[in-house]
Amino acid sequence: MVDFSLHRGIEAPTGPELHCKGWGQEAALRMLMNNLDARVGENPAERIVYGGRGRAARSWPAYDKIIDSLLTLENDQTLLIQSGKPVGIFQTQPGSPRVLIANSNLVGKWATLEEFDRLEKKGLTMFGQMTAGSWIYIGSQGVIQGTFETLAALAAKHFDGTLRHRLYVSAGLGGMGGAQPLSAKMLEGVALIADVDSRRIQKRRDSGYLDMAQESIAEAVRIALEAKHDGRSLSIGVHCHANDLLEYLVTNRIIPDVLSDQTAAHDPLVGYIPDGLDIEEADALRRADPSEYLKRARQSIARHVRNLLALQQAGAQTFDYGNNIRREAFDQGVHEAFEIPGYVPAYIRDLFNQGKGPFRWAVLSGKPEEIYKLDELALEMFGDNPLLRRWFTLARQYIHFQGLPARIAYMGLGERDAFAVKVNEWVHTGMLSAPVVFGRDHHDTGSVASPYRETERMLDGSDAIADWPILNALLNVASGAHWVSFHHGGGTGIGYSLHAGTVVVADGSDDSAGRLSRVFFNDPGIGVIRHADAGYSLAETTMKTHSDRMKAPFVGPDSNIPL
């Protein structure tokens, strides 16, 4: 028996038994619950999954209604979720999505953090981050491979393909930043990560993503430098504000090899702790005087970026990791903030040009051994990719599952659909004991418009064109995804991004086979077309390779065409 009324101690059901009327509904129910599992989400008591205040549901009554709706939803109906609240069930058709989700979306002129905060306080909206409000978060692993791929590309570009004898310094050990220490360690480096919240440091230690914790900055730095010298991979969490660590490095002329930041600076009211405050003091000030809190947080962010710039100028390979910290600092007068490059144009745009991105799956059986089976299948199908082979080998060694066992891998156009369809066959034949959920982060090749992250410095200047994520969501609905989401603000904050998500469950049926084949080719396919349209030759080559399954009647600028 499963008690779906619980608001604490939530764990997704596992195994082959249906509680809903179809696996599309069942998968949505289980993944929603998995987001709020205490082993997975950052603060399930407040329905916060990660990213400052990225929530899975607007309120507990709304959560209860979502659960009730999924339990009774028919196989030809679609449930509508408006910023974390179920607002309608409509008769559609069996091939339609079972759930459609829209989170945090505001009309352009009103798309400011201040307006969002006002509306949230009135109970009218909810911040969905990326995978929090679209029910496909899988714990810190969800960003680990992206961080691994980013650091691998950086190591190939600036070093000798490894971080051995290199020191990576950053801050933030939350739902996104928690991936940093393990990713650096997987590439043989030393990671030194600051966080003002000791609970986050402990959580990363408990999950195996962090080797040790230190209260003393001096001692943490000493240990890190010793490990760097010896060529030992090691990850250290230090309990302090980012600025305290960075200023210690500046003062003592200790230059990291690699430098970044993963605090939730995109949401300075909730996600960033001002200098000089501990967690309790920050919470009290936020409640008592939000305006003063924002002022102090933004001053700290400006100081933070100035410290990053000082270390960059001293020789650290420094990059922005997509949390909008540069823009926040720029608005506070740090006009050289954008001298720090963004990680997408610096390191991973070529992956997007090939339709590669954070593809992920979770086994609804709850059995870790079934993830390992799928690891072997992936290696059998794509083992000629050395980085992917290395990833699967290291993931098995280092990744501790949080909630439902899951895996992520940067698979590209023609790979995602092939893998998912094969897994569906395994479910059908009983090689897997229960269905498998396939999805991705919204941070993907064609699903997002974010001028300070995924679409920064596009060749044709189309950074802010948001037609692409809208088309992505519409195409995934037409292709038969089991649920589709469209959000505003995830990653870089309110006003700075629009993005779409998609999920399909492999239940072994012919229906699922068709959905998986269409969605997981078309979804990265529109990303390849988007990049080809912007003028990337690698994307054009990728598109031509798959011209039998997609057409691009007209790509590239039409500035020479008379209007």
Residue-wise pLDDT tens digits, 427-463:
999 999 999 999 999 999 999 999 999 999 999 999 9
Position 388 confidence tier, pLDDT thresholds 50, 70, 90: confident
Residue type, 259: L
Q: What is the distance between the alpha carbons of residues 556 and 12, in angstroms, rounded to a whole number?
A: 46
pLDDT for residue 207: 84
For the chain, report the end-to-end CA distance as a whole number of angstroms: 64
Contacts of 510 (CB under 8 A, 6+ apart): none
Q: If DSSP codes are grouped into helix, strand and coil, which group holds residue 487?
A: strand
* Other Cβ atoms closer than 10 A to 201: 25
Query: For the whole model, what pTM was predicted?
Result: 0.90
Residue-wise pLDDT tens digits, 469-511:
999 999 999 999 999 999 999 989 999 999 999 999 999 999 9
Q: If DSSP codes are grouped into helix, strand and coil, which group holds residue 235?
A: strand
Q: What is the CATH number of domain 1-39+57-127+356-456+467-545?
A: 3.40.1770.10
DSSP state, residue 31: H
Contact 133, 105 (CB under 8 A): no
Residues making up the annotated binding site for NAD(+) are 51-52, 129, 175-177, 195, 200, 262-266, 272-273, 321, 491
Q: What is the distance between the alpha carbons of residues 499 and 486, in angstroms, rounded to a whole number?
A: 6
And the tokens for 179?
């991936």
Burial of 250 (0-12, 13-18, 19+ CB in 10 A): middle
Q: What is the distance between the alpha carbons of residues 144 and 138, in angstroms, rounded to a whole number?
A: 11
Contacts of 43 (CB under 8 A, 6+ apart): none
Residue-wise pLDDT tens digits, 105-139:
999 999 999 999 999 999 999 999 999 999 999 98
And the tokens for 372?
């390992």
Contact 243, 303 (CB under 8 A): yes
Helix 510-533 / helix 467-479 crossing angle, nearest 10 deg? 160
Q: What is the distance between the alpha carbons of residues 151 and 189, in angstroms, rounded to a whole number?
A: 10
Residue type, 278: D
Residue 54 has pLDDT above 90, yes or no: yes
Q: What is the distance between the alpha carbons of residues 542 and 532, in angstroms, rounded to a whole number?
A: 9
423 alpha-carbon distance from chain centroid: 23
Q: What is the distance between the alpha carbons of residues 333 and 341, in angstroms, rounded to a whole number?
A: 18
pLDDT for residue 561: 53
Helix/strand/coil percentages in the chain, nearest 5: 45, 15, 40
And the tokens for 382?
């794509």
141-341 folds as Rossmann fold (3.40.50)
Position 175 confidence tier, pLDDT thresholds 50, 70, 90: confident
Q: What is the distance between the alpha carbons of residues 516 and 79, in angstroms, rounded to a whole number?
A: 20
With residue 199 as reference, give the H or E element that holds it. Answer: helix 198-206
DSSP state, residue 382: H
Query: Which string of DSSP letters, residue by residue, matches 387-432?
Result: HHHHHHHHHHHHPPP-SS-EEEEEE-TTTHHHHHHHHHHHHHHTSS
Contact 35, 103 (CB under 8 A): no
Contacts of 18 (CB under 8 A, 6+ apart): 26
Q: What is the distance between the alpha carbons of residues 205 and 34, in angstroms, rounded to a whole number?
A: 21
Q: What is the distance between the alpha carbons of residues 465 and 341, in angstroms, rounded to a whole number?
A: 21
Position 3 confidence tier, pLDDT thresholds 50, 70, 90: very high
And the tokens for 81?
């979720």
Sign, CA torsion 215/216/222/224: positive
Contact 289, 322 (CB under 8 A): no
Residue type, 121: K
Phi-psi group of 230: left, alpha or beta (phi > 0 → left; psi -120 to 50 → alpha; rest → beta): alpha
- For the chain, give the mean pLDDT: 95
And the tokens for 89?
């069930």
Domain boundaries, given as residue ranges, for the chain: 1-39+57-127+356-456+467-545, 141-341
Residue 146 has pLDDT above 90, yes or no: no
Half-sphere exposure of 95 (CA within 13 A, CB side): 12
Q: What is the distance between the alpha carbons of residues 49 and 209, in angstroms, rounded to a whole number?
A: 18
pLDDT for residue 559: 56
And the tokens for 521?
């080719």
* Other Cβ atoms closer than 10 A to 396: 14
Contact 203, 193 (CB under 8 A): no
Position 387 confidence tier, pLDDT thresholds 50, 70, 90: confident
Q: What is the distance between the alpha carbons of residues 168 and 262, in angstroms, rounded to a whole number?
A: 12
Residue-wise pLDDT tens digits, 199-255:
999 999 988 889 999 999 999 999 999 999 999 999 999 999 999 999 999 999 999
Q: What is the distance between the alpha carbons of residues 419 and 187, in angstroms, rounded to a whole number?
A: 26
Residues making up the annotated binding site are 51-52, 129, 175-177, 195, 200, 262-266, 272-273, 321, 491
Q: What is the distance between the alpha carbons of residues 172 and 323, in angstroms, rounded to a whole number?
A: 11
Token look-up 């003393």 returns 216
Residue 562 has pLDDT above 80, yes or no: no
- Mean pLDDT within 8-18: 97
